[in-house]
Chains A and B, each alone.
Chain A
Amino acid sequence: MTAAPVDIELARSFGLKDDEYETVLNIMGRTPSLTELGIFSVMWSEHCSYKSSRLHLKTLPTKAPWVIHGPGENAGVIDIGEGLAAVFKMESHNHPSFIEPYQGAATGVGGILRDVFTMGARPIANLNALRFGDPSHKDTKRVVDGVVRGIGGYGNCMGVPTVGGEVNFHSSYNCNPLVNAMTVGLARQDRIFLSAAAGVGNPVVYVGSKTGRDGIHGATMSSAEFDSESSSKRPTVQVGDPFTEKLLLEACLELMATDAVISIQDMGAAGLTSSAVEMASKGGVGIDLDLDHVPQREANMQAYEMMLSESQERMLMVLRPDRTEAARKIFEKWELDFAIVGKLTDSGRITVRHNGKVEADIPLGPLADEAPIYDRPTMKYERQPALVPPADPCGVEKGLLRLLSSANGASRAWIWNQYDSGVGGQTVQRPGGADAAIVRVEGTDRGLAMTTDCTPRYGQADPYIGGAQAVLEVWRNLTATGAKPLAMTDNLNFASPENPRIMTQFVEAVKGIGDAGRALDFPVVSGNVSLYNETRGDDGSVTAIQPAPVIGGVGVLEDVQKAVGLAMPQDGELLLVGETKGELGQSMWLKEILGREEGAPPAVDFAAERQNGDFVREQIQKGAVEACHDVADGGLIVALAEMAMAGNVGCSLEKGPDALPEHVFWFAEDQARYVLATKQADAVVKAAQAAGVPVRRLGRAGGNALKLGDMAVPVQHLRKQHASFFPRFMGKQEDDAPVVHLDELP
């Protein structure tokens, strides 16, 4: 490449603001070199520096007696008993997944896997949270297809089961889908590896794939909004190689079983730059890199390109000098590159040499300490007034079938049937079997429950509730399996923080997450922020995504045998735990049946949530519960239908309470509710009453139809409707499951 002059113009094109460039000049005391400017621009990008979000993230609860490492490391680490730790985090790969869906999603999975095994953990499960545009938008099918193939392609090859996830469609994601990937790993508590470098003179070692020109400035791209030029940024999307990552995983774990590793950091966003800077800064040391030794895939790469490349499947490590050769042998066995590319110094600087010339020499202190931080303006958020419940145009049966065959209510089996959910041989609950996935902890009787969730339409109407409700639903999903929820990871997807309305969404959502987490002793141990998720149209108009503060949660079951799923049993009584006031605002029913996205979302009540959840968990642990499902999108009738479809068993329901119109009772999305199937209904009801927990008898499990009054829908018919959307949408017609069209409604 030709050397462009380093000036304010170039700095702007690298994404630096004018005053940020001013600070760079002050720190350096001279005009920076191209490589130096590149390093500053990626380290100070929103993606790497969290400059708009940091002030607010600090308010989140991050501590609990079982938290071993909270935010700040590659992933969060929690104590799950027996000397073992769960290591987990979620991360987004949104922008690349629109430009190049397969590679965008695949490398998203690859990146989060590395974050987890960097810490010494073997990944035991992958999950995801996906948001796609309206199914009728021209790009949606292409994006769904590529993203699903990409997630499967990477995870399946790695041999890490993809056990859970969630998917929604909304027009605000038409040109800005969300791909959030979560990995959960398992490690011994006494063998956790961190990134802080130590030991002046110790070798800095590069392992994994060679460095190419892919992904240069990826971190900067993901810190800017989208426009019609974005697809020309395809070269900034990285290309994944899951086979190499599998080798890297096995080689790293083999090396970590020795005492060779002092510190280790994967090369993710901003590649060699951010890994080297982070390791040295955290360790309070300097670092010298000689790029001549970096394994290179392409000829004549410049220092700037090597420092900013986001080539995948690479790690940087500091090793004990006397173990370096033993380490080299392990990587040779796995046929991976292994190169000593530098050493730690006491200079407090990062110095980069290439072809005998110093290409960058930056003091690490100011690079970190003088990184920009913004307290961006917010405003009063205009919340939607409570909804006046509209009349029911179609009846419960039609409404139910319509919801089950809608994009957002349909079975996701088409997706998860492309993900290997059983590899590893520990999967207890596969997708669709329970409210949370359950994976046994190898060699123990324990199980980990894990899930992801978020309801963006709630957050759009009330960002505080959006943040809090995501936490509550995750906590509830873990609870519904019988697990004790331990901690969460958050992935905060928002539009431009420079817009006060969006910044308000962010601040309120973080408040909601924090309050919910504190109320439930459910701390945030890791996370990721993805901003600028918006699209600028050719006419200059901006489409912001519905805010998506996605939460991933992990819980533990001391005895995995006690876990319950959601499948309707052949027999038993059905109970509703929790109160139904009739919240139809922002409900799925309102959107799908009346085409309205209106009203206040359901209220959150932390005390009720905790009380009801603790009660349900206790009943499951006692063995009183056959199946359990939380009530969420679509309300009670959808929850019951989902149980029936999962178990292939029907149920006979009694009429709702007189105080509420029938459709309000069955479709309302009031929070803190669970359906229990039990053979000990009297005892459970008595215990609930004693604990002050609202409980209501709904009917009985059994038969082969879902019956309510005059309505009797065969479970087979429900299943057919539920399974119809994806094959039809993705281009394969299911034989005889017609769409329930709105115009067929009376």
Chain B
Amino acid sequence: MRLAELDAILGDVNRIILGKERPICLSLACLLARGHLLIEDLPGVGKTTLAHVLARVLGLDFQRIQFTSDMLPADILGVSIFDRDSGTFHFHPGPIFTQVVLADEINRATPKAQSALLEAMEERQVTAEGKTRALPEPFFVIATQNPTHQIGTFPLPESQLDRFLLKIELGYPDPAAERELLAGADRRQMVSDLAPRITPPQLIALQQRVRQVHASPALIDYVQALAAHTRTAPRWQAGLSPRACLALLAVARAWALLDGRDHVLPEDVQAVLPGVIAHRLRPTDDTARTDVEAVAAALIEAVDLP
């Protein structure tokens, strides 16, 4: 049985973003697992709305940063400005000091600006002008990026991609959902009408619960077997790192909780596998890179349950 509050949250989000149950579930799982989310998709498929809705229903502050190629780290982190009245420098926090950050088109910015965000994501604190400031808790970054083959993009290096727990795609809605969207009410209005379903302390408690979801030895064997296969099979340039295994287990735990269970099943691991490996495993065969679902399915079918 799924927890009532999670059910309510998913119901709200699904009411606004139509026909995307799975990506929505995954993004909630990512949040519950205290990870950050990377969405790679074309403009206009609902990335901003998703971030906004999540922030609303979870009762979190929301900021959006539009990344551009002339952006500087200070534009994200904040800047100290000399205050003539008090005769001191006064720190003006940047847009990152919030609970949900939507970093839009992250690969349009230069590596310098990207790394400012990514460091903040990893450390959950910002150091500017010699002073370290903690970011609010919970802290959740949803970054979007354009497909890397587009002009004017700075692809994120693998090491930085690894900071994101999951990478998902939203994709076009199916015709029925799209029709409902077109005929239905104004989404912007719907979002602002949403009431929070839980409070930040409740969210933190849920994140705690995710960490307590049981992963049995048999299941850990399975995660290890999957990783071992990616490390030896010639299909990938490099296998899954231990950090990637941790990520896989963390998201699988959140997925199990979303399914109302107190233990992880292999199905949970298999369900979140595409999102976990999408930005981490690079197939040797370039043509296979596009269809993450198929790559994940092949990996799943290649590894027997221990």
| Binding between chains A and B | no
Q: A-side interface residues toward B, CB under 8 Å?
A: none
Q: B-side interface residues toward A, CB under 8 Å?
A: none
